[in-house]
A and B are shown apart, each in its own frame.
Chain A
Amino acid sequence: MFAEDDLLPLSALQHLLFCERQCALIHVEQLWVENLFTAQGRLMHERVDSGGHERRGNVRTVCAMPLRSMRLGLVGKADVVEFHQQKSGEWLPFPVEHKRGRPKKENWDRVQLCAQAICLEEALGVKVKEGALFYGKNRRRQSVEFDSCLRAETEETSARLHELIASARTPPPLYDKKCDSCSLKELCLPKTLEKPHRVERYLKRMMAD
C-alpha cells in the first residue's frame, strides 16, 4: 500500500511504456512541452466542463471522475465513466478513455484503462470486467477486457514506474523511430546525447584555428 504522498499520476503509465526516458523527463525532471500539453489540457477541460453527469436509459455517464489506487500508488482522472445498469438493478462502472490518435498495436492505452478499472474497483468494491477506448482519428470505440494478463501487465508497469521515479535518475536516450513522434524530442536531444562523451573534443575543435 502506498501513502497518499507517494501517489503518481495515472497518465505516467503511458509515458513509461512509450519510453522510460520520456517518463523521467516529464515526471522526474518536470520538463514540459508547454504548447502541446497545455493545448491538450485545455481541450480536455472544455469537454469535461461541458460534460458533468448525464443519464440515458440504463446508462449513466460521469465525466472527469477522480480516481486513485492505494495499491498501485496511482492517482488521476477518468475521462468518462459510464455506469451500466444490470438486470439486478445494480450499476456497474465501465471506464471509457478518449484518445486523440488512432488505435495502437501496443498495450499502452489498455494498460492505462486497466489502471483506471483497478482504481474503480478499489473505490467502489465491485469487479470491473470491461471498458472501452475511443479513438478520435477513426471515431471508433474499441472494447477492452480486463483479463488477468492485462492486469498483471498493469501491476508490473506501476511497480516499474515507482522504481523509476524513486531512483530520480533519467535513463540515457536510445535513438529510435519512435523519437520522431515524441513530443519531448527537442528537449531530449536523443541523437546528440546518445554519445555523451564529445564535449572536450568539441571545445578543442572550437579553440583550434
Chain B
Amino acid sequence: MKKHLNTLFVTTQGAWLAKEGETVAVKVGGKVRLQLPIHTLDGIVCFGQVSCSPFLMGFCAERDVCISFLTENGRFLARVQGPVSGNVLLRREQYRWADDPERSAAIARAVIIGKLVNSRKVLHRVVRDHPDKVDTVSVKQAMDRLKAILMHVRVGTSLDRLRGYEGEGAMIYFRVFDHLILNRKKEFFFEGRSRRPPLDRVNCLLSFFYTLLMHDVRSALECTGLDPAVGFLHRDRPGRPGLALDLMEEFRPYFADRLALSLVNLGQVKSKGFRKAETGAVLMDDDTRKAVLVAYQKRKQDVVTHPFLQKKMPIGLLFHTQALLLARHVRGDLDGYPVFCWQ
C-alpha cells in the first residue's frame, strides 16, 4: 500500500518531465529544477503546457504512479494509463455486480449513506463552532431534512429511488452552503452549484478540488484493480468514470467542501486571486492555484482514525483504503462496503 502519498503538481509552463534512473526529473529550460525518487510519489498532475517523456510515462505506469494532464484552470484533459493490471477476476465480478440491480443498490446505498452523513456533519460542525455567525435555524432545518432522507435510505430501496434521494440530499445541502461562508461574504458567496463553468469563486474552488479528488480516487481504484469506469450509483456513460464518481461521493463534503470553506473562512485565498472571463466563468490566477494545491497536499497529510478499521492514517491514504475495502467486498471478504464516515 502506498505510504508516501505525495502528488507532484507541475504548474511551471514549459516544464519537461523525464525519467532519470529511478527518479522523475522536472526540467525547465533544459535545467533540472527538481528530482524526486519515483517511490515517494503516488501521482503526477501536469497543468497546462507541461510535457512528459514517453519513458517517464511507461515508468510511471509500471509503478502505479498516475499522470494526469489538466488545463491551466484545472479542467481534466487526459491521463496516462499503463497496461490494465492483471486482476481480471476482480473486474469481472465488478461487472457482474454492476449488472445486478440489487447488488448495485446495496453499494449505492452505502455510498449515499456516507455522503449524507458527511454532508450533515459538515453542517453540524459549523453550527456547533460558530453559532453566532451562521443562520442556525436554516442550517439545522437542512440537517433535519438530511436526517429524514437518511432514514429512507436506511431501509434499502431501489437504485432509482436511491439516486433520487442522493439528488435531493445534494440540493438541500447546497441550498444552505452559502451560510457556511463566514467572512467576506460580498466576495465569497455561493448561489447554487455551477460547474460548466463555475460562476463564482466558491464554485471555482469546489470544482478545482473535485478535479484533484477525482485524480486521486481514480488512481486509488486503479491500484486496487477495480475498473474506475464501471459504477454502481453512477450509471455507465461513455467517458464517465462511474466508479470513481461513486467513491468520490463520501469525500466531497468531508474533504473538498471543508477544504474550500476553510481556505475562504481563514482568509487563505484572496478575492483578487480570481478573475472573471467575459463568459462569466471564474478562474484562479497562478498564485492562488499554487496556494490551493499546497493546501490540498497538506490536508492529505492530516491524520484521522478510520472509523471502520479503527486505525490511524493520513487522509491521503483514505482513498486507497476505501478502494481496497470496496475491492475486498467485491471479492467476498466483507459483507458490505464500509463507506468512510466522518466522526
Q: Residues on A close to B: CB < 8 A? A: 28-31, 33-35, 38, 168, 170, 172-173, 186-187, 189, 192-193, 196-200, 202-204, 206-207
Residue contact A168 to B333, C-beta cutoff 8 Å: no
B170 interface residue, CB < 8 Å from A? no
Number of A-B residue pairs having CB atoms within 8 Å of each other in the complex: 73
Give chain A residues whose Cβ lies under 8 Å from the Cβ of B334: 193, 196, 199
Residue contact B86 to A30, C-beta cutoff 8 Å: yes
Contact of A28 among B89, B110, B113 (CB under 8 A): B89
Residue contact A30 to B341, C-beta cutoff 8 Å: no
Residue contact A206 to B336, C-beta cutoff 8 Å: no
Within 8 A of A (CB), among B286-343: 307-309, 324, 328-329, 331-339, 341, 343
Give chain B residues whose Cβ lies under 8 Å from the Cβ of A38: 63
Known: A34-B64, A196-B333. A203 touches B89 (CB 8 A): no
In the docked arrangement, what's the CA distance between A19 and B277, Å? 60
In the docked arrangement, what's the CA distance between A170 and B329, Å? 12
B90 interface residue, CB < 8 Å from A? yes
B283 interface residue, CB < 8 Å from A? no
Across the A-B interface, the 4 shortest Cβ-Cβ residue pairs: A199-B336, A30-B86, A206-B341, A186-B1
In whole Å, how far is B111's beta carbon from the nearest beta carbon of chain A?
11
Known: A29-B90, A30-B86. A207 touches B154 (CB 8 A): yes
Within 8 A of A (CB), among B1-49: 1-3, 39
In the docked arrangement, what's the CA distance between A151 and B188, Å? 75
| Nearest CB in chain B to that of A170: its residue | B331
Q: With contacts A34-B39, A170-B331, A199-B110 known, what are 8 further pairs, Cβ within 8 A?
A: A29-B90, A29-B225, A34-B64, A189-B309, A197-B335, A198-B335, A202-B338, A207-B154
Most buried by B among A28, A38, A198, A202: A202
Residue contact A170 to B333, C-beta cutoff 8 Å: yes
Residue contact B333 to A193, C-beta cutoff 8 Å: yes
| Nearest CB in chain B to that of A27: its residue | B86
Give chain B residues whose Cβ lies under 8 Å from the Cβ of A186: 1
Give chain A residues whose Cβ lies under 8 Å from the Cβ of B86: 30
Most buried by A among B87, B117, B309, B328: B328
- Chain B contact residue count (CB 8 A cutoff): 35
Give chain B residues whose Cβ lies under 8 Å from the Cβ of A204: 154
Give chain B residues whose Cβ lies under 8 Å from the Cβ of A200: 335-336
Q: Residues on B close to A: CB < 8 A? A: 1-3, 39, 63-64, 85-87, 89-90, 110, 113-114, 117, 150, 154, 225, 307-309, 324, 328-329, 331-339, 341, 343
Known: A30-B85, A34-B63, A197-B335. A203 touches B110 (CB 8 A): yes
Give chain B residues whose Cβ lies under 8 Å from the Cβ of A199: 110, 308, 329, 334-338
Known: A31-B225, A170-B331, A199-B337. A207 touches B113 (CB 8 A): yes
Residue contact A203 to B309, C-beta cutoff 8 Å: no
In the docked arrangement, what's the CA distance between A30 and B307, Å? 28
Give chain B residues whose Cβ lies under 8 Å from the Cβ of A202: 307-308, 336, 338
In the docked arrangement, what's the CA distance between A31 and B323, Å? 13
Contact of B307 among A170, A192, A206 (CB under 8 A): A206
In whole Å, how far is B254's beta carbon from the nearest beta carbon of chain A?
12
22 A-B contact pairs sorted by A residue (CB < 8 Å): A29-B87, A29-B89, A30-B85, A30-B86, A170-B331, A173-B333, A189-B324, A193-B334, A196-B334, A198-B335, A199-B335, A199-B338, A203-B113, A203-B336, A203-B338, A204-B154, A206-B114, A206-B307, A206-B339, A206-B341, A207-B117, A207-B154
In the docked arrangement, what's the CA distance between A38 and B2, Å? 13
Give chain B residues whose Cβ lies under 8 Å from the Cβ of A189: 309, 324, 328
In whole Å, how far is B221's beta carbon from the nearest beta carbon of chain A?
14
Known: A189-B309, A206-B341, A207-B154. A29 touches B331 (CB 8 A): yes
In whole Å, how far is B181's beta carbon from the nearest beta carbon of chain A?
25
Residue contact B39 to A206, C-beta cutoff 8 Å: no
In whole Å, how far is B164's beta carbon from the nearest beta carbon of chain A?
18
| Nearest CB in chain B to that of A169: its residue | B332
Most buried by B among A189, A197, A204: A189
| Nearest CB in chain B to that of A192: its residue | B309
Residue contact B331 to A187, C-beta cutoff 8 Å: no
Contact of B328 among A33, A35, A193 (CB under 8 A): A193
In the docked arrangement, what's the CA distance between A35 and B338, Å? 27
